[in-house]
Structure 1
Amino acid sequence: MLELQRILGYSCAFVGAVVLLVAGWAHPRSEDRMPDWPRAITYEIFVQSFADTNNDGIGDLDGVTMHLDSLQRMGVKAIWLMPIHPSPSYHKYDVTDYRAIHPDYGTMEDFEELVRAAHAKGIKVIIDLVINHTARTHPWFRKALADTTSRYHDYYVWKDSSQITDATVEETGPDTDNVQRWHPIAGRSERYYAYFWGGMPDLNFDNPAVRKEILDIGRFWLKKGVDGFRLDAAKHIYIDHQKNHAWWQTFRKEMQDVEPNVLLIGEVWDRAEIVQPYLKGLDALFNFDMAAAMLNAVKTGDGDSLAYRHKQVREKYQAVAPDFIDATFLANHDQNRVRSVLNGDRKAKMAANLLFTLPGAPFVYYGEEIGMRGMKPDPHIREPYLWQETPGAPYRTTWIDPKYSTDSTVVPRARQAARDTSMLHHYTEMMALRNDSPALTMGRMQPVMLPNEHLTAFVRLHPEEHLLVVHNVADRAVSAPMPDSLRRYTTELFTSNAAAEVMPEGVTLPPYSTVIMRAPDK
């Protein structure tokens, strides 16, 4: 409750919240009229671990194509493929050829077939585009190393060792370890800049030739039929944020000239004040603040501030881009998996309830829907998908020995499909609920204050539907009175627990449960 008071500035009473609900509904925003996609559900796939069709132990594009039906039945409307380009690393975030497919994953023809098949099922395709840096083995960098007079030398960022001191930090940014980001070359005095590690030298976007190369690469993939890009390390293109903002506006314009409906989703992992201006050039940004807040609410059982926090973050973004797309998620390929963080199925299901009922365009990391486990280091949050039980399970990849997601810790998808209490069933149910509801998909959200810190409550408002959503994020049953202004929500649309009691006077929710009520007159 203290956290909620801090968020509200110690000035909000329940009556004030109800006034907000009524007053805020008078003028629907354009968000209420947006189409389902790109606000629909997107599924993130690490091809390496997803499905192996040629028994080499590594996932491939054909494996994704073969399982599009499964994703469609689950309610997925778009897929995001982690990097698919040639690379010396298993994760492929260090590219050696931007216009090719990694041979482990298949061929360009396989990719084209995947796009065709996905589009035939109404599923969009987004690919990871990693342009902050290349691999150290990229031909551009090799040519830069071989000849300092080559035009490719200026494709990267260089500085003489004698010029690199602690004072360089002021020149290259506020990070205290920036001096270590200048990497030596044997036998030379010059060093190259690499923000992440020495195997990923940063490209020099002050060079017009580099900018042209990247724009041409974007056009190439749009002509292949992709519907958008997930833009890795979007805030690290330049060291200067203002130059980043300008670059992404240029990139967006050039991509829209090829495909007007292209979707650009940026990874800007920072506080909201830093993230906000990037919406001048990017359609969508991942909401890292809310991912942490949703998980924390379930971990602590303190949920009364969650909807208010979400509203505050969204209002900051809407000030820059009223129709921005809020890419919400619980975890991704860089974070510990939800079921490991929350330690159990009930809490993981509760987190999914929050994700699919709060505003935003939800992204689901592969395997979350079957309760895969995983903790850092990174390879172990990217372990093989469990389709069926071993040994010899069809499609199971073997490129890594799993430590967290094994047959003893995770029930494979094939068995979960037959269980109406499984994580897969729960995700499928929640995704269908969201996909079928105009209010949950596109409606505005206004928080509701109920007198219990364990309850997260809000209404979702759409011209076709008005919903009241109440979550109990605690490990105990919770009751709260229903104020007069909300008693019109009398039709039960959904409950995750049959023991929930919803009456005009009040609500009683079992542990980790959700109830959604609909107003009969919308």
Structure 2
Amino acid sequence: MSEQSTPAPAWHRAAVIYQVYPRSFADSDGDGIGDLRGIRGRLPYLRSLGVDAVWLSPFYASPQADAGYDVTDYRRVDPVFGTIDDAETLIDDAHRLGLRIIVDLVPNHTSEQHDWFQRAVAGGPHSPWRNRYHFRPGQGPDGTEPPNDWESLFGGPAWTRLPDGEWYLHLFAAEQPDLNWDHPAVADEFRTVLRFWLDRGVDGFRIDVAHGLVKAAGLPNRGDHAPAHLLDIGVSPCFDQDGVHDIYRSWRRILDEYPGRRIGVAEAWAPTLQRVADYVRPDELHQAFNFAYLATAWDPIAQREVIDESLEAVRAVGAPATWALSNHDVIRHTTRLLQPGGGEIAGRRPEPVDEVAGLRRARAATLLMLALPGSAYLFQGEELGLPEVIDLPAEARQDPAFHRAAGQDGYRDGCRVPIPWEGHEPPYGFGPPGGRSWLPQPALWATLSVAAQHSDPDSTLTMYRRALALRPTFTGDDLWWVDAGEGVLAFDRPVPGGETVRCTTNMTGEPVAVKHPGRLLLASGPLDGDMLPPDTTAWWSAG
């Protein structure tokens, strides 16, 4: 551990952070599953893309009941991904390239195969190990009813009964028992885990289900009899309890002990943006995902409203805004933004869309997002314009919610299909030629590969590279809206030298005339003189 030092400059406030889903990024050994050595080999690509940091989804020891979000040992790398030496070398390689590494942390639950839970089960109803989880007797005369009415986000009751008669809580899969954060051993364990990875050089943590660690006292009924859902961000005894903030204050003190501004990022769903901002108060975490923005439909009024509310909420606590259009849990925005309902990001199987129109709208949304003040998160493959894979066969799907009624989405595998790097047939450079991939790749992805787009000046990959090269010149945490007519969003951002950059997005269905404030810097699609086509965003320099 490093000595207490003055915090480094706040690199995270405007950072572009690229999410790598390890099993779907690059496979070094041909087993069909991506791994840490595969990621290491592709780090130069990420550096050339222009991102500042890489967020790695879980690679810890796990039975993989939920793609690694069911952890048996937070200090070990699962053999499917490599070794602890591979993880340390990956961190070192990234740092040499000027990239920071953020790792996922899963503190709400463990795997059912975690040593603690195995001891709790083996020890019977009076075992002290059960106090580290939420074990309860059942309701009804013979205890055959669950202890309360909570539903699992993966479908069905949030309780499973053991042969000895007691029930345990799992807000997700039955293989993921929830930890009891009122037990001091739980807090001690995760403080140790933080230091373990900080000592190995990680630059921060993305905290899974950050809003779920503390449950309402007594585990009271919800009372609404509605199925739980990841996107259910209303008031709930399961989530966003005030006690979580004491946990993150203690974690912030640990992060601040280390040099280089190590950060904490909350996956926090809450009823309001103001409640989300509570997670990034000055003595807590550094960033919180802005799911309200991600879930907003392609509508100018709704978009402006959520942007204003987001900036206002974080400004009140002195934190940066965050923006994202895709991640490993939601429909890729190339497909999602044309879905009925617009901003609905999960909850049902996506419908087929016109992929040309979907890509056009996604490119426009991307340039709009990247022009906003704050930090931007990219999900692997979005820079290639990958669509959601909606026709995966049932036997290939591995999302644990897929076969459970009334649960979360169940179709998340569609955004997790391994990405294409090169070549004309699967696995498109994801692994060795002739190899396989854990989810099947579409036959048409050869035209979307990194190699196919690399030298194309009009490709989506080229657009991302150009946008990420320009973005660091935008300064400050503010924007100024410009009246550009109904259905058009336009705002200015300052750049050095007293000038500004204007971002203009046409969300109407028709071309619109726009004033040219200066030199065109970048556009998501071709312009027609003074006309900005539908679903197109342009950046101009302005004096």
Note if contact 1:371-1:410 (Cα within 8 Å) is conserved in structure 2: no
Q: Deviations over 1:460-515 (max 9, x none)?
A: 135544222211133421125x5xxxx9x43443344553545xxxxx31233223
Residue correspondences, number: 461
TM-aligned CA distance change 1:36 to 1:139, over 3 Å? closer
Note if contact 2:36-2:81 (Cα within 8 Å) is conserved in structure 1: yes
Distance 2:275 2:174 in 1: 26
Task: After TM superposition, give the deviation of residue 418 of structure 1 in Å.
Answer: 2.4
Residue type matched to 1:395 in 2?
F
TM-score computed with the length of structure 1 as normaliser? 0.82
Q: 2:538 aligns with which of 495, 498, 515?
A: 515
Task: After TM superposition, give the deviation of residue 79 of structure 1 in Å.
Answer: 0.4
Residue type matched to 2:132 in 1?
Y
Tell me what 1:351 maps to: 365
What secondary structure does 1:325 align onto? coil
> What pairs up with 1:450-465 in 2 under 5 angstroms?
450-453=484-487, 455-462=488-495, 464=497, 465=499
What secondary structure does 2:456 align onto? coil
Distance 1:47 1:497 in 2: 31
Task: After TM superposition, give the deviation of residue 183 of structure 1 in Å.
Answer: 1.5
Q: Deviations over 1:213-239 (max 9, x none)?
A: 111111100001000000000010011
Residue type matched to 1:446 in 2?
W
Note if contact 1:165-1:179 (Cα within 8 Å) is conserved in structure 2: no
Distance 2:273 2:181 in 1: 25
The reply on whether 1:152 has 2:139 as its aligned counterpart is no
Task: After TM superposition, give the deviation of residue 180 of structure 1 in Å.
Answer: 2.1
Q: 2:78 aligns with which of 99, 102, 116?
A: 102
Tell me what 1:402 maps to: 440
Note if contact 2:384-2:448 (Cα within 8 Å) is conserved in structure 1: yes
TM-aligned CA distance change 1:236 to 1:198, over 3 Å? same
Task: After TM superposition, give the deviation of residue 318 of structure 1 in Å.
Answer: 2.1
Tell me what 1:62 maps to: 37
Range with greater deviation from structure 2 (226-235 or 386-395): 386-395
Tell me what 2:188 maps to: 212
Tell me what 2:398 maps to: none
Distance 1:233 1:127 in 2: 14
Distance 2:269 2:93 in 1: 33
Task: After TM superposition, give the deviation of residue 443 of structure 1 in Å.
Answer: 4.4
Residue type matched to 1:513 in 2?
T
Distance 2:193 2:535 in 1: 47
Distance 1:356 1:179 in 2: 39
TM-aligned CA distance change 1:141 to 1:399, over 3 Å? farther
Tell me what 2:467 maps to: 430
What secondary structure does 1:250 align onto? helix
Note if contact 2:428-2:446 (Cα within 8 Å) is conserved in structure 1: no
The reply on whether 1:414 has 2:466 as its aligned counterpart is no
Tell me what 1:183 maps to: 160
Task: After TM superposition, give the deviation of residue 363 of structure 1 in Å.
Answer: 0.7
Residue type matched to 1:275 in 2?
V
Distance 2:500 2:426 in 1: 49
The reply on whether 1:133 has 2:93 as its aligned counterpart is no
Tell me what 2:293 maps to: 290
TM-aligned CA distance change 1:501 to 1:268, over 3 Å? same
Task: After TM superposition, give the deviation of residue 350 of structure 1 in Å.
Answer: 1.0
Note if contact 2:111-2:177 (Cα within 8 Å) is conserved in structure 1: yes
What secondary structure does 1:458 align onto? strand
Note if contact 1:311-1:445 (Cα within 8 Å) is conserved in structure 2: no
TM-aligned CA distance change 1:178 to 1:48, over 3 Å? closer
Task: After TM superposition, give the deviation of residue 273 of structure 1 in Å.
Answer: 3.9
Residue type matched to 2:198 in 1?
L
Tell me what 2:312 maps to: 315
What secondary structure does 2:242 align onto? helix
Counting aligned pairs with the same residue, the percent is 30
Distance 2:156 2:444 in 1: 45
Tell me what 2:19 maps to: 44
Q: 2:506 aligns with which of 455, 472, 477?
A: 472
Q: Deviations over 1:107-139 (max 9, x none)?
A: 111111110010011100000000100000111
Residue type matched to 2:417 in 1?
E
What secondary structure does 1:113 align onto? helix
Residue type matched to 2:21 in 1?
F
TM-aligned CA distance change 1:193 to 1:212, over 3 Å? same
The reply on whether 1:71 has 2:76 as its aligned counterpart is no
The reply on whether 1:333 has 2:328 as its aligned counterpart is yes
Note if contact 2:138-2:145 (Cα within 8 Å) is conserved in structure 1: no
Tell me what 2:275 maps to: 274
Residue type matched to 1:189 in 2?
G
Task: After TM superposition, give the deviation of residue 151 of structure 1 in Å.
Answer: 4.0
Residue type matched to 2:303 in 1?
L
Distance 1:372 1:492 in 2: 26
- Whose helix fraction is larger, Structure 1's or Structure 2's? 1
Residue type matched to 1:284 in 2?
Q
Residue type matched to 2:540 in 1?
M
TM-aligned CA distance change 1:185 to 1:326, over 3 Å? same
Q: CA RMSD in A?
A: 2.8
What secondary structure does 1:67 align onto? helix
TM-aligned CA distance change 1:290 to 1:418, over 3 Å? same
Tell me what 1:249 maps to: 249
Residue type matched to 1:460 in 2?
R
Distance 1:379 1:514 in 2: 30
Contiguous gaps of at least 5 residues in structure 2: 1-7, 217-240, 339-354, 391-409
Tell me what 1:377 maps to: 411
Task: After TM superposition, give the deviation of residue 445 of structure 1 in Å.
Answer: 1.1
Distance 2:302 2:255 in 1: 39
Task: After TM superposition, give the deviation of residue 168 of structure 1 in Å.
Answer: 5.9
Range with greater deviation from structure 2 (207-216 or 149-158): 149-158
Contiguous gaps of at least 5 residues in structure 1: 1-32, 503-507
Tell me what 1:388 maps to: 422
